[in-house]
Amino acid sequence: MDKREKRTGGFDHGFTLIESVMVIVVLGIIGIGIMMYFVGVGSSSDPVLETQAGRLAGEKMERIIADSKANGFNSIVAEVATPLAAPYSRFSTTVEVICVDEVDLDITGGTMPQCNDSDISSKRVRVVVSWGSKTFDIVSLISNH
C-alpha cells in the first residue's frame, strides 16, 4: 500500500477546520441576531406617542409660563394627575411645583404650592405627561423677576 492511499483511504469522516470555523461564525451571527431582537423588544417604545407626549408637556409648560405672566407668580400651582380629552385621552398630565431659594437653588426646604417666605421668588416646575407605564418630563425654573 502506498503512503498516500493510507492517508486518504482510512480517514473519510469528520469535519475540517474550515467547516468547524464556518459553523461557529454562523451560530455567532444567529446568536447576535436573537439577542438584538430581545433587547430591542424590551426597550422599544412608540415614537409617535413619545413625540405627542413631548409636545403636550411643552404646551402645558408654555401655558403655565403665560399664566404666570398674566395672573402673577402665585398662579403657578401644583396639579394632580388629570386625564386629557380626546384625541389625547390615553395621556394624563401632572404638575409639581417646589419653591426654590435662589441663593443656592436649594429645593430640599421648598414648600408647595405657595411661597410664604418673601426671600423666595423662584419655583421649580415639573410637568409630567404619562401614558401606560411610560412618562415624559419637562422641568423649568420660573422666576418672579
Q: Which stretch, 3-17, 48-62, 89-103, 108-122, has highest mean pLDDT?
A: 48-62
Q: In what order do the strands lie in the sheet with 92-100?
A: 79-83, 92-100, 122-131, 134-143
- Residue 57 identity (one-letter amino acid): A
Coil, strand, or helix at residue 46? coil
- Residue 29 identity (one-letter amino acid): I
Question: Bridge partners of 82?
Answer: 93
Q: What is the pLDDT of residues 91-122, one digit of tens each?
A: 999 999 888 776 666 555 555 445 655 566 78
| Mean of pLDDT values over 55-84 | 89
Question: Bridge partners of 97?
Answer: 125
